Structure 1
Amino acid sequence: MYLLDIWGSLFFKVLAIACSFILLPMMLHYLGGATFGVWVAIFSVVSWVVFFDLGFGSGLRNKLSESLSKDDLQESSILISTAYGSMGLLSLFLYALFICANFFIDWQAVFSTNVVSQYELQWSMAVLAFLFLLNFTLLIVLQVLHASKKTFLTVAHQFLANFFALVAVFLAKTLIAPSLFVICLLYGISQVVTTVYISFIFYRKNFSLVPNLRSFSVNRIKLIAFLGGQFFIIQLAVLVIFSTDKIIIIKLFGPAALTEYELVFKAYSAILIISTLFLTPLWSRYTHAAAEEDYSWMRGALRRSHWVCAILFIPSMILYFFGADIVFLWAGYRIESGSSLFLAMSIFVLVRVWSDIYAYFLNGVGVLKVQMWLAVVQAVINIPLSVAVAKIYGVSGVIYGSTLTLSLSAILLPLCVYWYLKNKKNLSS
């Protein structure tokens, strides 16, 4: 079942990436360069909504994995219904706040543009925010899929979302004059349609888990939110760690340096994708194994994870030695073959893969306090550390700064896993 999850995820991930590579230039050609830039900015702003779930999705994933491992379908239904109801109410509240502010904000000033009228920007933001928040609630199904050990369907969701968006943009490009509002409307609808379709596929075969108002429980909100709150702090801290490098680079070294960084990072991102495909299904499986006290399986899964990390050392070394040629063949952009960026990125990616092995384990078993406080410390020190090292080593120094920050996880998280398994062994003996 686990191998089926991985191969299914890999299949749909390849299709999703292919669709996204076709979709981007099609949207660019339809909207034109200036308006496309506005779309990217709008999409980035609206996408931040996923961080307003306060970690509720991750909390649900763990609690639901526990109830499903015990075949407690009644409790599972209550958890799912409570999650949908809570996210629905939160979405309504957020949209009410947004609508109150939307028509008073000068969006042309926010996005530094006059190629799109204020009127179109206001309605584009209104419709895209509505559809994203609607989808925000419906996306609870992805956490249900993870907890049900059907991770490959979450990747299938990503593929279908890209595919439906591709079809919608193609039709718009063929039939409708260039319009930012049309893109916002069609893209948002494609996301909602995809989530509804995946939900239909899952709940049709798992009718006992279908959410309903009668199963909504205020007590379960507290149960999920307590665990979810810790996930939320970790998510925000991780966001700071992994989203500030680009800002630091463009401020210190300019756009050209950021272009080189982005190309090198994109090349190495294939390694992170492979790692994620292997590790993501393990999260819920660790939760199930912990509930069943199957610690021997957990140790075996960790050993297999180490092998994956060792295997991924090979492509990282290939990119280190031949990365400049690979980037040139792929993007037509020449980066100096001896660039220290490749060495810095090789180290960073391997440290991240190693840390993720233990982070997914601890997430699965719900041991979050150490991660939470560690993430807060890392978020605080990452920016000043990266800036300080960048002043010595240039752009590579920014990556080294983030690597040093992440190294705290690479050292402390394995120790947490070791003590967790040792403690469980002592209790069982």
Structure 2
Amino acid sequence: MLQILKRWLKLALGSAHADDHAARRSKGVLRGTVTAIAGRGVGAIVGLATVPLTIGYLGGERYGIWITISTFLAFLSFTDFGIANSLSNALGKAYGEGEHGLAARYVSSAFFIFCVICGGILCAAYAVAPHLAPIFFPNLQSPLARAEVTPALLLALLLFALNIPLLVTNKVLAVHHEIAIANLWGIAGTIANLFAILTVIACQGGLPWLVIGSSGLGLLTNVACAAWVFGWRWPHLRPRLAGFDFAVAQDLLAVGWKFLVIGAVWMVNSETDNLVIARYLGAAQVTPYAVTFAVFANATLLQTLAYPSLWPAYTEAFAQKDFGWMRRTFRSHMKLSFISAFVVVSFLIIFGQPIIRFWAGESAVPPFATIVWMGIWNLMLATLYVASCLLNATGHLKGMTISGTITAVLNIALSIPLAKIYGISGVIAGTVIAFALAHYIPTFWEVRSVMRSSRQIPGGVVASGAEPGC
């Protein structure tokens, strides 16, 4: 364990030659993860600063509008139709095989597909925002809230849509193992949004201005990042209409729909528990479950933050047939993920109830059985993230689309009767059992198959220099 950490630290502080693909990948993963942790920390600090300020400034009703709009936009993340993830794999494969011209066509094609999606969302927002507002918020009491809700929703959709074409920027940075730069730009955007929110509050701006303040400067930061990436750093990848290729676009869409299904099924699996609890146990029981879920999510924080950096590294290594690096990195990642999650989960199983009692009050404290099942769930997630990252990056998607869909059905089928018998502990137990039977075992079986087949393929990149091992 210590040897692994020492080797990763050496990579972080050292330098890698441009031809040393393995060292470049490992360095990119480490720096991307570290800056992602820093970004999460900055985001947490900004949240701690802005939440009480905005609640106090807007009041409960208008603040609720703001949060509801943010939740709605989270569901709209599927409107890229999985093309962003499809682009990650396409670029990694193209660069891994030295096809830089093909990579440029992928960037241009994805960019203009995103522009079409952006235009569609803008038109839909203009047409439906006035009708969505009374559906989402039928019982607004304040005349000010009723006056502000439609323009706030429209502006939020506008800013969301304008960010979609800029998704290509982070994918270009990722394929060059420069996720750390994307994270630093993201930190700059978060800080800029903080100052914008403070300015709006100081100037007594309304909810629409607060929407602009919370997202507008982030959009400008993303534009600045794109200008740097395509204007100075990699101008040969700049999106051009002449670079749009219908065959390339079809390829992106053909793979993208699989990512769309995987993402949709994952959201269904993660969001249905609260719905089951509210329906069969009452809304009051959602609180202890949701709070416990949020507390235990810290056990898999490292895995989720490392994911964006590992994905393009695996894709490039797979394209270059550098299977030795893939196996060593997978084993190292698995060990670190399990050990880090085990430490956090063990601590939370012992001290979770008093922590929740202190943080959220007595009404949010769950039964001890819920704590234990939540710990098992997060240990499974910690290792499942490692496996799914490898399969996503190497394009082995069919199995996950099938097993994920079966898991979603089985999860609901188990959670409802178990909830009636065991309460909220039965709900998380149903989720764990469903994932273990229908998703966890098939996923690792497929990883085993990928690793075995890679041993039978001769050749591969021979990279100089030290790289992290087990």
TM-score (structure 1 length as normaliser): 0.93
Counterpart of 2:250 in structure 1 is 222
Counterpart of 1:381 in structure 2 is 410
Say which of 427, 436, 442 aligns to 1:412.
442
Say which of 36, 43, 56 aligns to 1:9.
36
Higher relative contact order, chain-length normalized (CA < 8 Å, sep 6+) = 2
Measure the CA separation in 1 of the matches of 2:132 and 2:310: 46
CA contact (8 A) 1:50 1:136 kept: no
Q: What is the deviation of 1:262?
A: 2.1
Cα deviation 1:172-221 (Å, max 9, x = unaligned) = 111124x2221223223123112113323433322222222221212111
Counterpart of 2:390 in structure 1 is 361
Cα RMSD (Å) of the superposition?
2.1
Measure the CA separation in 2 of the matches of 1:349 and 1:170: 37
| Aligned residue identity for 1:347 | I
Counterpart of 1:53 in structure 2 is 80
| Aligned residue identity for 2:211 | C
Say which of 255, 276, 279 aligns to 2:307.
279
- Unpaired segments ≥5 residues, structure 1: none
CA contact (8 A) 1:139 1:195 kept: no
Which shifted more, 383-392 or 166-175? 383-392
Which secondary structure state, in structure 2, belongs to the residue aligned with residue 405 of structure 1?
helix
Counterpart of 2:54 in structure 1 is 27
Measure the CA separation in 2 of the matches of 1:153 and 1:419: 34
Identity %: 22
The alignment covers a number of residue pairs equal to 427
Which secondary structure state, in structure 2, belongs to the residue aligned with residue 137 of structure 1?
coil
* 1:252-271 map, 5 Å: 252-271=280-299
Cα deviation 1:222-246 (Å, max 9, x = unaligned) = 1111111111111111110011112
CA contact (8 A) 2:292 2:366 kept: no
Counterpart of 1:149 in structure 2 is 177
Which shifted more, 133-142 or 83-92? 133-142
- Alignment of 1:188 with 2:215, yes or no, is yes
CA contact (8 A) 1:322 1:337 kept: no
Cα deviation 1:374-422 (Å, max 9, x = unaligned) = 1111222222321122112111111111112221322111111111222
Which shifted more, 2-11 or 52-61? 2-11
Counterpart of 1:97 in structure 2 is 124
Which shifted more, 156-165 or 404-413? 156-165
- Alignment of 1:352 with 2:372, yes or no, is no
* 1:157-168 map, 5 Å: 157-168=185-196
Q: What is the deviation of 1:335?
A: 5.5
Which shifted more, 380-389 or 198-207? 198-207
Name the CA shift for 1:155/1:330 in 2 (closer, same or farther; >3 Å).
Answer: farther
- Alignment of 1:18 with 2:45, yes or no, is yes
Q: What is the deviation of 1:6?
A: 2.3
Measure the CA separation in 1 of the matches of 2:132 and 2:443: 45
Measure the CA separation in 2 of the matches of 1:65 and 1:307: 25
Counterpart of 1:239 in structure 2 is 267
- Alignment of 1:251 with 2:259, yes or no, is no
Measure the CA separation in 2 of the matches of 1:251 and 1:158: 38
Measure the CA separation in 2 of the matches of 1:238 and 1:106: 26
CA contact (8 A) 1:341 1:395 kept: yes
Name the CA shift for 1:154/1:263 in 2 (closer, same or farther; >3 Å).
Answer: farther
Counterpart of 1:313 in structure 2 is 342
Measure the CA separation in 1 of the matches of 2:269 and 2:217: 31
- Alignment of 1:342 with 2:368, yes or no, is no
Name the CA shift for 1:282/1:51 in 2 (closer, same or farther; >3 Å).
Answer: same
Counterpart of 1:77 in structure 2 is 104
Q: What is the deviation of 1:334?
A: 6.6
| Aligned residue identity for 1:111 | F
TM-score (structure 2 length as normaliser): 0.85
Counterpart of 1:424 in structure 2 is 454
Measure the CA separation in 1 of the matches of 2:384 and 2:112: 34
Name the CA shift for 1:384/1:155 in 2 (closer, same or farther; >3 Å).
Answer: farther
Which shifted more, 118-127 or 302-311? 118-127
| Aligned residue identity for 1:90 | I
Cα deviation 1:234-280 (Å, max 9, x = unaligned) = 11111100111122222233343222122212211112211222333
Counterpart of 1:326 in structure 2 is 355
Counterpart of 2:152 in structure 1 is 124
CA contact (8 A) 2:39 2:183 kept: yes
Counterpart of 2:134 in structure 1 is 108
